[in-house]
A = this chain, B = another copy of it.
C-alpha cells in the first residue's frame, strides 16, 4: 500500500536501523514520509563521509523508495511520490572533529541535526552520564551560532541537564530533543526533567518521544496505553505543538552496534555482554506507527492532534530549521 497525499503520514524524529529494502518498504507501507537517520556516533569526519557515501549508494539503488531529505520541500516531494525523505543526523559532534568549518561542509552534505554530546563530555557540551556538567564550552558556543547560521538543528538527547538548559538559552533558533521521554514517567538518566521540558517547550523546541526499551516504563513490557497516556500528560504541559515521535528504532542491528554506540573508541572495557533490548511488541518496526496512531486516539487525542504529533509538528519544525538563518525553507 503506497500512501498518497490524502493518507495519514508520519515523520520519525530518529531511527538507526540496519537499512534494507525491507525497512524502506515498511516505511512506505506505514506512511513514513520522512525520517531522521543517524549517520554517525563516534565516527570522525572522514568516517562520516563514508557513511554518506553509503547512503548515496542507497539513494541510487532504492531511488523509487527514498530520497535525500535536505529541505521541507523534499518531505513534500517524498509524500507526493510515495517515497521517504532521509534526513541525516550525527548523534555526537565527533563528525566535526575540532573544526567549526566542518559544520557548513556537513550541512552542505545533508547533515541537518547534530547532538552536541553523546553520553560523555565532548568538545562542545557535557553528556548525560558525566557526573559533572560544566555546561556549553567555548567551542560549543561558537558551534551553536554556526549551526544556527547554516540551518542545523541542535539536538540534546544525550546531553547533561546544565548543558541542555544552556543550549536552549544560547541557541537563537529552537532546538530539539529528538528521542527521550519525561524522567518522571521513566526515571533513567537519558530521560528529561520537567525543568528541561518546560524550557524546551517555552523556546519553541521539540521533544520526540522515544520507543527505545530502556527509555520506557517497564521497558519491553511497557503497555501502549501507558505510553500514550504519558504522551497526553506531556502534551498538556508542553503544548501539543511541541511534541512528536523519535522512535530510536534500531531494527535489525547486531549487538556489536550497541557496543559501538556505548564504547566507541573511548574505553577498552569489554562491551561483549551488552545487547539490544527487545522492543515492545506494538513497536518492533515502522508498521508499529499504526498501533501508535490507534493508541493516541484511544487516550482522547483529536485526529488533528494525532496528525500533529505523528507528522505535522516535525514538518513545521524542520521547515523552520533547515535553511540558512534569515531564509525560508
Interface residues, chain A, with chain B CB atoms under 8 Å away? 45-46, 49-50, 52-53, 56-57, 99, 101-102, 104-105, 108-110
Min CB distance A147 to B, Å, is: 14
Copies of this protein chain in the complex: 2
A57 and B101 contact, CB distance less than 8 A: yes
B50 and A101 contact, CB distance less than 8 A: yes
Assess A53 versus B109: contact at CB under 8 Å? Given A45-B46, A46-B46. no
Min CB distance A96 to B, Å, is: 11
Complex Cα distance, B109 from A53, in Å, reads 13
**A49: which of B52, B53, B57, B105 is its contact (CB, 8 Å)?**
B105
What are 21 A-B residue pairs whose CB atoms fall within 8 Å in the complex? A45-B46, A45-B49, A49-B102, A49-B105, A50-B99, A50-B101, A52-B105, A53-B99, A53-B101, A53-B102, A53-B104, A53-B105, A56-B101, A56-B104, A56-B105, A57-B101, A105-B109, A108-B108, A108-B109, A108-B110, A109-B109
Min CB distance A304 to B, Å, is: 38
Complex Cα distance, B105 from A113, in Å, reads 19
Min CB distance A109 to B, Å, is: 6
When C-beta atoms are compared, the residue in chain B nearest to A101 turns out to be B53
CB contacts (< 8 Å) of A56 on chain B: these are 101, 104-105
Complex Cα distance, B105 from A110, in Å, reads 10
Complex Cα distance, B56 from A108, in Å, reads 11
Complex Cα distance, B107 from A56, in Å, reads 12
CB contacts (< 8 Å) of A102 on chain B: these are 49, 53
Min CB distance A48 to B, Å, is: 11
When C-beta atoms are compared, the residue in chain B nearest to A56 turns out to be B104
When C-beta atoms are compared, the residue in chain B nearest to A50 turns out to be B101
Min CB distance A100 to B, Å, is: 9
CB contacts (< 8 Å) of A104 on chain B: these are 53, 56
Q: Give 7 nearest A-B pairs by CB, closest first.
A: A53-B101, A56-B104, A49-B105, A108-B109, A46-B46, A53-B105, A108-B108
Complex Cα distance, B108 from A104, in Å, reads 12
Complex Cα distance, B102 from A325, in Å, reads 29
CB contacts (< 8 Å) of A53 on chain B: these are 99, 101-102, 104-105
Complex Cα distance, B55 from A108, in Å, reads 14
CB contacts (< 8 Å) of A50 on chain B: these are 99, 101
Complex Cα distance, B146 from A53, in Å, reads 13
Min CB distance A324 to B, Å, is: 11
Complex Cα distance, B49 from A52, in Å, reads 15
When C-beta atoms are compared, the residue in chain B nearest to A97 turns out to be B46
